[in-house]
Structure 1
Amino acid sequence: MSAYLFAHFREKVTPDGEQVYFGISKDGFNWEQVNNGKPVLESTMGEKGVRDFTITRKKDNTFVILATDLSLAYNFKEKYESNWNKVNREGSKYLSKWESDDLVHWSEQELIKVVDDNYGCAWAPDIIYDEENQDYMVHWSSRYPADSSNEMAIYYAKTKDFKTYTQPKELCHKSDTGIIDSNIVYENGYYYRFTKSDFNPAHIILERGTSLTGEYERMPLFDEEMNKLEDGQYEAPTCYKLPDGSWCLMLDFYGCEKEKQGYVPFVAKDISTGKFVRSDKVFSFPYGFKHGTVMEITDEEYKRLKENYPNN
């Protein structure tokens, strides 16, 4: 692999922001828009908006996108009465799904119900392949039960084909506060799990473990770097390996005006240390990418995306 695709949305006040956008990069540092910075896929089902994407390459070399079924542009003021707590408790129990053989021709949108009505909104799905069990883990954040005082936690379901899913189980929680926005990567025998903690600390935390659903331990050097940031201003971690073997962690900065929000990069020379250093100066974006996932792609796939989603 020698290029990257970033599936994301745009933080706008209009409904076209909560759709599927692609960014591409040859080096993982400098990002380009495609399709004139317009959506490549649009939601016509459920809430008619999608946020918080994950995209993955399946073992058969095809692709799947999963996203939160949510449109704040359409529904925040009236349906949810401008109340985030109401969104968390009463938001969609479905994930939107698209599949493709080539990143250009996509299936019709499907809605996948991953939780029953006792759960709150199914937020921010992420996918990782479970080598041990040879299936995929889809994990997301929810409140359960939705009408309880329980904090948000991370839940998961397993699937082999993205058509049928196991019943959800809890993956992890934090005893003193809620956690959301999980992202898991694998390297040299360890799973590295990033989550956003609401409080204590009010920033991203990193843990690692040798089993996908087993015990994890906090990585203190990561906490040291995160403590340098303003509390409660970063979310939606997505981590990927750069061409030189170092790792980039993108964090979505939302502590500013809506139209200016977007990702901020942090780089670790060795992910096993947990030390990610802010690296804004060596990265560039055409606009503010919002909550999504980076996936490695081939040169051929990069060229195909540029040709089929040109900037006129």
Structure 2
Amino acid sequence: MNSAYLFVHFREKETPDGEQVYFGLSRDGFNWEQVNGGEPVLWSNKGEKGVRDHTIVRTASGTFYILSTDLSLANSFNSKYEGKWANIARSGSKHLALWESEEFVNWSEQRMVELGDEYFGCLWAPEVFHDAGRDEYVIHFSAAHASNQFGDKAIFYTRTRDFISFDKPKLLCRKDGSGIIDSALYEEGGRYYRFLKSEADPAGIMLQHGETLTGAYTENMSFAAEMAKITPGAYEGPTAFKLPGGKWCLMLDFYGIRGEGQGYVPFIADTLQDGRFVRSDEQFSFPYRFKHGTVLAITVDEYERIRRHFS
């Protein structure tokens, strides 16, 4: 029984230790505790030696995988990329960083998964969705691409069964007039739901639904109406999970200010179909500012195992 949550994230710091893998734990999805004394649980020692935008998935075999963007602003922004995000988008890593574990506490050596080629820019913000009908895992990520002269970013996807062999990436979706990043996919009632960050026109978080995983999607206008009430272009990194009572919690990374107050905040809705996610952070707490990650439902036994191991 899932009665606890693991948040895999990085930290809002401008030093290399911030761009590593951190864990947070919660019993209710609102009140979070730091793991390992607020220090990284995994360090990147390959690629750019920094990782961001983590996701974690529990596979049917019982193996857990963490995938991350291979990028370190602390190590590379002002040197390799000359202080320009456009240089990262065009010339950043074509790899994702990957770790695997059977029980959350002992992790494999870091592995670099090369999904991009010369036609791709940087691979950003991977997420994983289990396509149960095909018993495959869909890894989707955002990237600039040569097909539109490395202009507005789009969402691409690959499929794998074993996290060793991966299909050649294909386009999942684009948006007219704007780049899209930070995709997150879920299923509810036989329908697929997709959160995205639109970079412009307008800037903000979108929710779409579709009848097939990789087919056409339609925007949820109830969600759009709620998002219109908050600061535009100030949230990113969506991750969603079901609370113990059955409602959905959408966590959005609030980066609209510097310093205190920056980091994830929760939005609550009855269902994904309803889409009326309302900011609900009166009872929310986390011990430090934390950034782009993914929440995974875990058991109480798993919660205690992580706490004990990293204490």
Q: TM-score, normalised by structure 2?
A: 0.98
Q: Which residue of 2 aligns with 1:85?
A: 86
What SS does the corresponding residue of 2:273 show, helix, strand or coil? Answer: helix
Q: Which residue of 2 aligns with 1:52?
A: 53
Specify every segment of 5 or more residues in structure 2 that has no aligned partner in the other structure, as ranges: none
Deviations 1:217-275 (A, max 9, x none): 11001001111111211100001011100000000011121565210110001221111
Q: Any conservation in 2 of the 1:119–1:146 contact (CA below 8 Å)?
A: no
The list of structure 1 runs, each at least 4 consecutive aligned residues, that deviate by more than 2 angstroms after superposition, is: 258-261
Q: Any conservation in 2 of the 1:121–1:143 contact (CA below 8 Å)?
A: yes
Distance between the aligned counterparts of 2:38 and 2:16, measured in 1?
15
What SS does the corresponding residue of 1:301 show, helix, strand or coil? Answer: helix
Aligned-residue CA RMSD (Å): 1.2
Q: Which residue of 2 aligns with 1:154?
A: 155
Deviation at 1:117, TM superposition (A): 2.0
What SS does the corresponding residue of 1:36 show, helix, strand or coil? Answer: helix
> 249-258 vs 142-151, which deviates more?
142-151
- Describe how 1:225-236 pairs up with structure 2 within 5 A: 225-236=226-237
Q: Does residue 28 of the first structure (1) align with residue 12 of the second (2)?
A: no
Q: Any conservation in 1 of the 2:249–2:269 contact (CA below 8 Å)?
A: yes
Q: Which residue of 1 aligns with 2:205?
A: 204
Q: Does residue 37 of the first structure (1) align with residue 38 of the second (2)?
A: yes
Distance between the aligned counterparts of 2:208 and 2:283, measured in 1?
26
Distance between the aligned counterparts of 1:21 and 1:47, measured in 2?
17
Q: Does residue 126 of the first structure (1) align with residue 127 of the second (2)?
A: yes
Q: Any conservation in 1 of the 2:121–2:150 contact (CA below 8 Å)?
A: no
Identity of aligned residues (%): 54
Distance between the aligned counterparts of 1:253 and 1:177, measured in 2?
20
Distance between the aligned counterparts of 2:171 and 2:289, measured in 1?
32
> 147-156 vs 52-61, which deviates more?
147-156
Q: Which residue of 1 aligns with 2:110?
A: 109
Distance between the aligned counterparts of 1:44 and 1:18, measured in 2?
12
Q: Any conservation in 2 of the 1:97–1:111 contact (CA below 8 Å)?
A: yes
Q: Which residue of 2 aligns with 1:73?
A: 74
Q: Which residue of 1 aligns with 2:183?
A: 182
Distance between the aligned counterparts of 1:305 and 1:13, measured in 2?
27
Q: Which residue of 2 aligns with 1:9?
A: 10
Deviation at 1:282, TM superposition (A): 2.1
Q: Which residue of 2 aligns with 1:275?
A: 276
Partner amino acid, structure 2, of 1:76? F
Q: TM-score, normalised by structure 1?
A: 0.97
Q: How many residues align?
A: 310
Deviation at 1:284, TM superposition (A): 1.1
